[in-house]
Amino acid sequence: MAGLLIIVGYNVIIRDLGETTSLWWGWDGGEYRYHPLNVYRLVMLVPFSIWLLRRWRQLTPGHVSGWVFISVGMAYTLSSFLDFSTNDLVAGLTTEQWLGLALIVAGWGLQLLLPKKL
């Protein structure tokens, strides 16, 4: 849970701009407007954080880690589609997308492998 709060805090403090956009909520970068990736991640992670805090006592520590992996992986994978990337594509995905998918799979694996209750 501490890791999730650190990631939420990072996205509050650090501005991360993606591809150019013509949408009104894009952040002004001088000549162009850019997708605010940190805001997109916050929109995805804050509701999940609230849900996780409400179910904290019902989940075992491994399950909490699994849900954190899944949520962070989903947030970073989805926001990376709007990110400017100079990385080479592997099977059509960037390195950030592969890492996000690896987090999702690891979290899902934890959910399946751990017992439901202690």
Quick: pLDDT tens for 58-96. 887 788 888 889 988 998 888 888 877 666 677 878 888
84 domain-assigned: yes
Residue 118 lies in a domain: no
Angle in degrees, 0-180, between the axes of helices 61-80 and 2-13, rounded to the nearest 10: 30
pLDDT of residue 3: 64
Instruction: Report how far residue 59's alpha carbon sits from residue 107's, in angstroms, rounded to the nearest whole number.
Output: 14
The proportion of the chain whose per-residue pLDDT surpasses 70, expressed as a percent, equals 84
Kindly report the pTM of this predicted structure: 0.75
Residue 68 lies in a domain: yes
Q: How many domains does the chain have?
A: 1
Structural domain that includes position 12? 2-113
In a domain, 66, yes or no: yes
- Number of other residues whose CB lies within 10 A of the CB of residue 38: 19
Give 10's pLDDT tier (boundaries 50, 70, 90). low
Report the pLDDT value the prediction gives residue 104, as an integer from 0 to 100: 94
